[in-house]
A and B are shown apart, each in its own frame.
Chain A
Amino acid sequence: MSTLTASPPAATPPAARRQARRRRIRHVRPGDVGIGVLAWVVGIVFFFPVLWMFLTGFKQEAQASTDPPTFVFTPTFEQYAAILERNFAPYFINSLTASVMSTIFVIALATPAAYALSLARIPRWRDSLFFFISTRMMPAVAIILPLYLIAKNVGMLDNVTFLALMYTAMNLPIAVWMIRSFLLELPKEVLEASRMDGAGLFTEIRSIILPMIAPGLAATSLICFIFAWNEFFFAVSLTATQAATVPVFLVGFITSEGLFWARLSAASTMAALPVILAGWAAQKWLVRGLSLGAVK
């Protein structure tokens, strides 16, 4: 979602457009300015915590806790260097591995399932959708103990692949639901036309459906990546030293260096940056993903 989607006048019927224009003209008055100011104030309040975290990460430790707070300073990479010295890289690599691996698994499993649940005509299978979406909302707490015991018994504790499997199970319902909603939006005529031309099921999927839902698959991947990257509960329960991810590192860091604000901020910034970028690109889909399709 970009700023371009703000007001699509072309899509609205002429009457509504005229009406909207009339309204806009009527609204150029003090109230309008007030709304604009309010929007900015709210925007700044929302943006401030992350901005502050970002800025603090580039300060010297002494500047991070001055009174009043410092806004103008010479940026330093000292804190980032200090974190890298604390062996941050393995955590980052673990996070990346678990997130990317699980996203690939999820898309590979969810795409055929979503296809079966949307295009292929098996109405009774709609009920299995219930089965899918219900699991997404159940608390992870309810399965963590058995999971831990099983992982311990099969020697998979502290293992990135096992963590990736967990994230796969965690994100699968959302992915099935989202991909299905993209498939349902495909124009029926295109598929019918391809069938008329004698395209087989395989050709139809590969050369017609997949290219058309590619943007949807990309959006779904981004969402799954964000959820996996941010996940903390499974990570802290199932990993120790070998497979621990960035959130686990960060919580340990908060406990051990609680008052080093600049260093902590630098670490948080590194933890947040990948998902802020992914999140900005996939915002609209993030809303759809969390709503399980309740809102398009």
Chain B
Amino acid sequence: MKRGIRSWGPGLLLVAPSIAVIAIFVYGLIGYNINISLTDQHTGLPATEYVGMDNYTALFGEDRFQHALTNLATYTVVFLVGTMVFGLLWALLLERGVRGEGFFRSIYLFPMAVSFIASGVVWRWLLNSSQGENATGLNRLFGTLGLDFLENPWWSDPKWGMAAMALPAMWQLTGYVMALFLAGLRGIPEELREAARMDGVTEFQLYRHVIFPQLSPVALSALIIIGHMSLKVFDLIMAISGSIYQTEVPATYMWTALLSFDYAKAASIAAVLLAVVAVVVVPYLVHTVRAERRS
């Protein structure tokens, strides 16, 4: 027993402060949040009673919340498909051996460090909805190039606005996905390619049957990481459109509920979003930790 303490005691002391910070600020507060979501605290006044799952039932019965979820889904699909496809293309591009690869990699990666808030201003200009004579930004560019049919209202479009909203997000994170794929491509042993070439496969077959299957773990990591970022989207929308109904997602809806002191509703939206993110992230983390333990 004494030996036990001596072997894990110092380690415990070193880890304890960090664990305490996270336990209190993350898990403690998540519990607190769920607690609020079960009460009737809809005004600035304290809660009077627990109402069970009523807030959640009300939320899912609401058109506005479904609209927010639909928006989030559109945004997520476009964002994920865009970053994955372009990320893979850029990685293949660099992998083919471009002169000055390091330079290009830096250029593709650097938007990652710029926040949506800071790049929001220029994206508001690029994705300006005016068309024809008054067009600016991308619409203006299309007009000049004689591609008028491409001019569109971008994020102000009621139906596909959220797809346009994903453009700045793609700009920011495609380089990151590229870096993941590039690392994956570099990790494939050269012998494997040589062997395939010896067997006389075409370049296309080589990628289709040898290279891409090797990349699937990397693709999964990228999907999960980009996916959970997408579900949490808030900054980008606040910077580009502000919290308006048309581009509303759960996070911004929660924000407006918070501003109108409807705490119980805000807490239940937050809890739903947490659950959605957890469904994506937890299995992945369990998998990662298991893989780590095996190695």
Contact = CB atoms under 8 A, between A and B. Distances in A.
Q: Dominant SS at the A interface?
A: helix
B97 A172 contact: no
Interface string A89-114: 00000000000000000000110110
A129 B289 contact: yes
A47 B107 contact: yes
A84 interface: no
B17 interface: yes
Nearest to A40: B104
Given A24-B97, A135-B22, A287 B273 contact: no
B30 interface: yes
A268 B121 contact: yes
Interface stretch (A73-81, A188-196, A212-220, A246-254): A246-254
Interface residues of B, number: 99
B183 interface: yes
A143 to B, nearest CB: 4
B88 to A, nearest CB: 13
Contacts of B115: 229-230, 232, 247, 271-272, 275
B19 A128 contact: yes
A70 to B, nearest CB: 13
Interface string A140-172: 111111111110000000000000011011001
Nearest to B32: A146
A140 B233 CA distance: 11
A275 B18 contact: no
A38 interface: yes
Contact of B108 (A43, A165, A172): A43
B195 to A, nearest CB: 12
A35 B97 CA distance: 9
Contacts of A121: 7
B15 A128 contact: yes
A157 to B, nearest CB: 13
Contact of A250 (B19, B107, B118): B118
A19 B144 CA distance: 46
B171 A49 contact: yes
Interface in B212-240: 218, 221, 225, 228, 231-232, 234-235, 238-239
A50 B263 contact: no
Contacts, number: 305
Contacts of A206: none
B179 A65 contact: no
B58 interface: no
A237 interface: yes
- Interface residue tally on A, bucketed by range: 35 or more
A176 interface: yes
A87 interface: no
B278 A138 contact: yes
B12 to A, nearest CB: 8
B15 to A, nearest CB: 5
Interface of B: 7-8, 10-12, 14-15, 17-19, 21-22, 25-27, 29-30, 32-33, 36, 90, 93-94, 96-126, 136, 140, 144, 171, 175-176, 179-180, 183-184, 190, 194, 218, 221, 225, 228, 231-232, 234-235, 238-239, 242, 250-251, 254, 258, 263, 266-267, 269-271, 273-274, 277-278, 281-282, 285-286, 288-289, 292-293
Interface of A: 1-7, 12, 15-16, 19, 23-24, 27, 35-36, 38-39, 42-43, 46-47, 49-50, 52-53, 56, 65, 67-69, 109-110, 112-113, 115-117, 120-122, 124-135, 137-150, 165-166, 168-169, 172-173, 176, 226, 229-230, 232-233, 236-237, 247, 250-251, 254-255, 258, 261, 264-265, 267-268, 271-272, 275-276, 278-280, 283, 286-287, 290-292, 294-296
Closest 8 CB pairs of A and B: A279-B113, A230-B115, A146-B32, A3-B102, A116-B14, A143-B29, A6-B102, A272-B118
